[in-house]
Structure 1
Amino acid sequence: MKFAVSLTMERFSSDIPMSTVKNNLLQLARMADEGGFEALWTAEHHTIECTISPNPFQTLVWLAQHTQQIRLGTSTLVAPYWTPIRLAGESALCDHLTNGRLEFGIARGSYQYEFDRMAGGMPQQEGVAYMKEIVPAVKKLWAGDYAHDGHYWKFPTATSVPKPLQQPHPPIWVAARDAGSFDWAIANGASILSTPLSQPAAEIQVLADKFNKAVADHPEVPRPRFMMQRRTCVYDKADGWELAVRHSMDYGRAFENLMQNIGMVREGFPEAVPYDAVKGKDNYNPDNIRRNLMFGTPDEAIEKLLVYEEAGVDQYCLGLTFNLPFELQKRTIELFVEEIMPFFAAREKDKQRKAAAG
């Protein structure tokens, strides 16, 4: 199992200057690169300060100038906000400007608040149909001349300029939680980005079962990769969970605002909705948060991560963007590099030795 980190610029107060936000992201990205993380993922969001990323390609090109090895991925592009020609060209150029390190992740989109401003108020759930039309079109534009006559987009013969550096194209990932999205993504040669959200550990295997079924149903397709992301905080002392849980709860209430479109957003800052307005109230129980999310000392985190490894997860992604204090974000990465990643690297070497010995 490899490790990745999900990072975006974030701020929860106008008192924090953008220069600080930008430099914090850069410092974390460099730490992840030097520490041997496989990938860095950054999302697309609009009009909200808690995830400042109106065009993740810009962020990734900037980070590419300051890192050496780490793969750079979009987690995720929001299909209804793009057109096929623009998406094909911008992603291919990003692939060149990152020296072939782009991982192309796409999704239907999440926040209804954004859909009301970016997609004419269409229901967020309808974004999946846009995704299913745009991905095949982008792949054909990357390959050469192509004319499109679809439901959402129509254009005469055109091609992606430039073509991607990686051939035939950058790895494609699709964000998925429902069985239909797993099946469609794998049938189309894409890997899977998923998350158990705040659900108990049993949800990890539920998602793995969906992945495995889709793989089994499409034997004609080489097995894709399976990434899973959770909010993550690793700390030195056992009582560190209290700070992590408090920040997760507060961030979750802002997340509910955007998902359900039930609160105010002022100057880009979403208010935290009252607890009686949140869905899935068990997910706001401090004991459940501590147990379900990737919160713990290094030993506790390793024990939790073994469940992901057992479920066949290829890449575990640290979700660090939930207003966690910067010093704790840094310490989480340090502890993964110093204590957690070496544990799993040693397990992998041991497996390889046993396989070679027959």
Structure 2
Amino acid sequence: MRVGLGYLNMAPAGDAATTAASHADLFHDVRWAQDKGFAGIWITEHHFSTYSLTSAPLLLLAKASAIAPGLRLGTSIVVLPFWDPVRLATDALTLDALTGGRFDLGIGRGYQPHEFLAFGKQVTQNRALFEEALEVIMRVFTTEDFTFEGEHFRVDAPMTVLPRPTQTPHPPVWMAATSRESLRTAVRRGFNPMLPAVTTLPEIHERRRWILEEGGDLDRVEFQVNRFVYCGEDAESRELVVREIARQLMTSAGLTRGVHPVRGTAVTPDELDPAYLEKARGLLVSGSSDEVVARFRELVDAGITYVIAGFNFGYLPKEVALRSMETFASEVLPHVDRLSPQTVAG
């Protein structure tokens, strides 16, 4: 099993000083992770709220590539409906070249209504926009001198994007997919399926079965899930982690329902809902090093080959996250690296 580090970078404010501190923490982690055995750095895309200070993931990854020349770099995810697909494909191939073929393109549909409205779109269009943008991007990656006419996007003159792919046949594509329809698309395209951190273990088993029923070959692609991780036995720190995961989940839920940020600040709850605290406890991978390894073994036995691990959630103090990451890197990662997906039955 491989483990990468994932970054959302939620913050209490979006001013220049807070953003600078957030970026400094991110690049500190990138430097630190360079020789620790992590498989890569993954950065998400969100806009217009302090739910995430990562609105330009490709730019952040470009800097990360110079800081950590031994790590792979991925988007988890870029939201295709927000992009002109030719522009995104051009930037992706440039980053592929810039990194010497260390770039992974993670893609998804998006889900926060205010983001779509600010880009002049409707969240109800997300699947149609995604599918058409994806078709254009894959043609950019694989075809020279092509034209395209769709409902949402057009290429009216024969066009070849330069540079051409550094990796063969193109950067690996990872696709956020939780519904059966999305997993069907991922299987048909040969993409690596990505599951969000809220996916439970039974749901992972169910998605694996769907992939196989759709004709997917999990010996040829990665099967990825995000996970909240706290490696440590300090009860007070663990409870703080749980609270900040719940804060992040509740903020995301509000944005999903259509709550609009106020001057860019995501509306965060004053009181944490006990149901979300309980949900956070159930989703969190935590405990001693042996206990965390055992939880990762469960994921391997469910077919997972790659975990994007998040150690910093909500407004968690940086020192708590860093202490957990250091313990994970020294005491868990060497064992997790040896876990094999071949233990999966059926």
Instruction: Give the TM-score of the pair, scaled to structure 1.
Output: 0.87
SS at 1:233 equivalent: strand
Mapped to 2, the partners of 1:2 and 1:158 lie a distance apart of 37
- Bigger drift between 173-182 and 325-334 goes to 325-334
Q: Which residue of 2 aligns with 1:176?
A: 177
Where does 1:52-71 land on structure 2 (aligned, <5 Å)?
52-71=53-72
Mapped to 1, the partners of 2:23 and 2:231 lie a distance apart of 23
Asked whether 1:303 is paired with 2:304, we answer: no
Q: 1:233 to 1:110 in 2, by over 3 A?
A: farther
Q: Which residue of 2 aligns with 1:11?
A: 11
Q: 1:142 to 1:47 in 2, by over 3 A?
A: same
Q: Which residue of 1 aligns with 2:319?
A: 327
Q: 1:348 to 1:307 in 2, by over 3 A?
A: closer
* CA displacement, residues 25-75 of structure 1 (integer Å, 9 cap, x when unaligned): 001112222211112111111111231222211011010010022110011
Offset at 1:343?
1.4
Tell me the percent identity. 25
Q: Which residue of 2 aligns with 1:134?
A: 133
Mapped to 2, the partners of 1:292 and 1:325 lie a distance apart of 20
Mapped to 2, the partners of 1:258 and 1:208 lie a distance apart of 29
Mapped to 1, the partners of 2:286 and 2:120 lie a distance apart of 36
SS at 1:147 equivalent: strand
CA contact (8 A) 1:6 1:42 kept: yes
Q: Which residue of 1 aligns with 2:93?
A: 92
Offset at 1:196?
4.9
Pairwise CA RMSD: 2.5
Mapped to 2, the partners of 1:239 and 1:311 lie a distance apart of 31
Q: 1:210 to 1:275 in 2, by over 3 A?
A: farther
* CA displacement, residues 84-117 of structure 1 (integer Å, 9 cap, x when unaligned): 2111111101111122111011101121121121
Match of residue 268, structure 1, among 248, 264, 267: 264
Asked whether 1:315 is paired with 2:306, we answer: yes
Offset at 1:255?
1.2
Mapped to 1, the partners of 2:170 and 2:300 lie a distance apart of 28
Asked whether 1:223 is paired with 2:229, we answer: no
Q: Which residue of 2 aligns with 1:206?
A: 206
Where does 1:331-346 land on structure 2 (aligned, <5 Å)?
331-346=323-338
Partner amino acid, structure 1, of 2:7: L
Partner amino acid, structure 2, of 1:248: I
SS at 2:13 equivalent: coil
Where does 1:8-157 land on structure 2 (aligned, <5 Å)?
8-13=8-13, 17-120=18-121, 122=122, 124-143=123-142, 144-156=144-156, 157=158
SS at 1:295 equivalent: strand
Mapped to 2, the partners of 1:151 and 1:270 lie a distance apart of 33
Partner amino acid, structure 1, of 2:324: T
Q: Which residue of 2 aligns with 1:234?
A: 231
CA contact (8 A) 1:112 1:259 kept: yes
Aligned residues: 339
Offset at 1:274?
6.9
- Bigger drift between 310-319 and 328-337 goes to 328-337
Partner amino acid, structure 1, of 2:195: S
Q: Which residue of 1 aligns with 2:285?
A: 294
Mapped to 2, the partners of 1:9 and 1:285 lie a distance apart of 20
Mapped to 2, the partners of 1:206 and 1:222 lie a distance apart of 17
Mapped to 2, the partners of 1:33 and 1:125 lie a distance apart of 40
SS at 1:61 equivalent: helix
CA contact (8 A) 1:107 1:128 kept: no
CA contact (8 A) 1:89 1:163 kept: no
Match of residue 255, structure 1, among 252, 256, 259: 252
Q: 1:18 to 1:307 in 2, by over 3 A?
A: same
Mapped to 2, the partners of 1:317 and 1:275 lie a distance apart of 29
Q: Which residue of 2 aligns with 1:245?
A: 242
Offset at 1:203?
2.3
SS at 1:160 equivalent: coil
Offset at 1:273?
4.3
SS at 1:193 equivalent: strand
Partner amino acid, structure 2, of 1:90: D
CA contact (8 A) 2:4 2:41 kept: yes
